Amino acid sequence: MASTQSEKVMPPTSAEHAHRTSGIVLHSPVLYDLTVWLAMLGKERAFREKLLQLAHIKDGERILDVGCGTGTLAIAAKRHVGQSGAVYGVDASPEMLVRAEKKARKADIEVLFRNGLAEALPFQDNFFDAVLSTVMLHHLPAKTRRQCAVEIRRVLKPGGRVLAVDFEGFSDQKKPSSRISTVLMVMSGEATSLPC
């Protein structure tokens, strides 16, 4: 049985307290999973598989899921990269990561989950072949979203790919939309916006 690799979620040090996110952090993983299931009308698996197809995830690649939540996409991505690949999930919520680890163990899938911020990714430069982020960016104010983009570019290998999917509006806009409407795909430095 493959084990889930995870850094233990430990209380932040005094230095880490100074670096808290300005975004919204969710702390109820069961409610989150239920909300996602309802929002996707029970078709979350098909949605995640479509995302992985759009991201062109391949066997042997190293993938990062930013704002991984309860780990559903990271676990699905690991199935695509196989034994020779690696998948990492990062989230600001320790509660979400506990559930993600449980899901990965139950699925017998090895994913490294790490507590961290989207705007200060705890990974080395040029480390990932692809970075994914789904339905998380709307939780970040504009300045933090820009910093997240800088961080994603930093950890992405040259020629790497980014797939970010989110709601039409963002938390700092007056009337955010409740529907998913845009896929932004960045490949080799070129951005393409695709309608969902």
pLDDT tens, N- to C-terminus, the chain (196 residues): 443 443 333 333 333 433 476 665 666 667 776 777 777 677 778 888 888 998 999 999 999 999 998 899 999 999 999 999 999 999 988 998 999 999 999 999 999 999 998 888 999 999 999 999 987 776 778 888 888 889 999 999 999 999 988 765 544 444 444 444 344 444 444 444 433 3
Torsions phi, psi for 122 (to 5 deg): -85, 50
Identify the DSSP state of 3. Answer: P
Q: Are 120 and 146 in contact (CB under 8 A)?
A: no
Strand partners, 163: 132, 185
Please tell me the pTM assigned to this model. 0.74
Classify 195 as helix, strand or coil: strand
Q: How far apart are CA 54 and CA 87, in angstroms?
A: 17
The token duo for 56 is 């062109």
pLDDT of 152 reads 93
Q: Are 138 and 166 in contact (CB under 8 A)?
A: yes
pLDDT of 22 reads 60
pLDDT of 144 reads 85
**What structural domains does the chain harbor?**
23-195 (3.40.50.150)
Classify 6 as helix, strand or coil: strand
Q: How far apart are CA 10 and CA 94, in angstroms?
A: 9
pLDDT of 17 reads 33
Tabulate helix, strand, coil % of the chain (nearest 5): 35, 25, 40
pLDDT of 191 reads 44
